[in-house]
Amino acid sequence: MEHLLAFIDAQDTGMCFSGKGWKTEAETLAGFGVHQRLESTKVQDAPSFCEAHADFIFCHITYDVKNQLEALTSRNEDHVGFPVFDFFVPQIVVNVQPDEVHLLYRAEAHSPTAVRALFESIRTFQLRSKNESKQGLAFHRMDEERYHSDLRTLKQHIQRGNIYQGNYCQEFHWEKVVLDPARFYQYGFDRMPNPFSVFYRTGEHALMSFSPESFLRFEGSTVTSQPMKGTSPRHADPIVDEGNRKALETSEKDRRENVMIVDLVRNDLSHFAIPGSVQVPELYTIETYPKVHQMHSTVTAQIRPKIHPIHVLLKAFPMGSMTGAPKISAMQILDRLEHSRRGIYSGSVGFFTPEGNGHFNVVIRSLVYNASTGYLSCHAGGGITDLSDPHEEYEESLVKARPIFDLVDAHFAKNSSELPLADEAAAP
């Protein structure tokens, strides 16, 4: 995968889906180049684009697409500048299987000789030699005292009945970073091979996502969502680790948080579902990952005939696990409390197949990089209910962000020079 990642990173546009969660026949599915692209600035034009192309369509939608889907705004500064959304048909699709690699291409645009040359170029492509560097540790966008203050305000909204739950997020960032995104993604995925990971290059921006969460999966007429709410840290001691897992499994706060989002997802899917087909086959399931235990549930529905999945995707977006409930009120309140724009964080990256199936993740446990400014960013958040303790929520957000911090520190210690900061008081 190393050569494929390096090749994609050298393109203007490309995606590589890694991890065992993606429902494809491939170990790795990738695509690069643009054969057709939705040129509109309105996400409402995406359905006509998707319905017109019985092909692989790769896409991303940022959290800020909410402002086009609902009467909402984003007042916070956008520090990364990730494009709001993109839908494109790749020029080349690469399907990596255990014993062979398939390249899907258009005969009218590529001769067999050209494709063989392209395959050889990918097979031998080398990671670019780059003197990577960063300055010190991650900066918080706010301190813990401000975090506690914001959560107290959020809980007041809950106690007044304005919302039942809100997913509050904070940003951590590094500045003046020189990074090889493909090299970092390979390094990170080797150590944290989460099931819905994706590497994405678009212009000067790169996304390195090690997501454990599936947003929507489309298989035939069935749509499946697996909202993830509830997190507990792993521990090297097996007894302590099992205690952490059991505590999460029985946590009243986390169960309450989880079931609220399950109800929200059920409502989201019902808009295009056959009446009576929305089901919850799993509730409060605990999954264990390299760094954390997570609670998730599963919601399924049967989509009505002749409905393209893109309609379901946009109706359910943003995912309830990253907003709270009710959605609109929660997003309005969160925008007033949070301190930076989420951008691609809390958004989704995924694909549709020529057969009309598809799969989309939730962009969490991720890094976003702007090569033109040297800005490297990650977010972490958590669902807040009336049972939430601000100090515990702050610690949980660090539990989620810590694996990313560790990856960044270890990668730069191994592959680059790290420049000291004069003042690291704001670092976690």
Catalytic residues: 213, 229
Q: Which amino acid type is present at position 79?
A: H
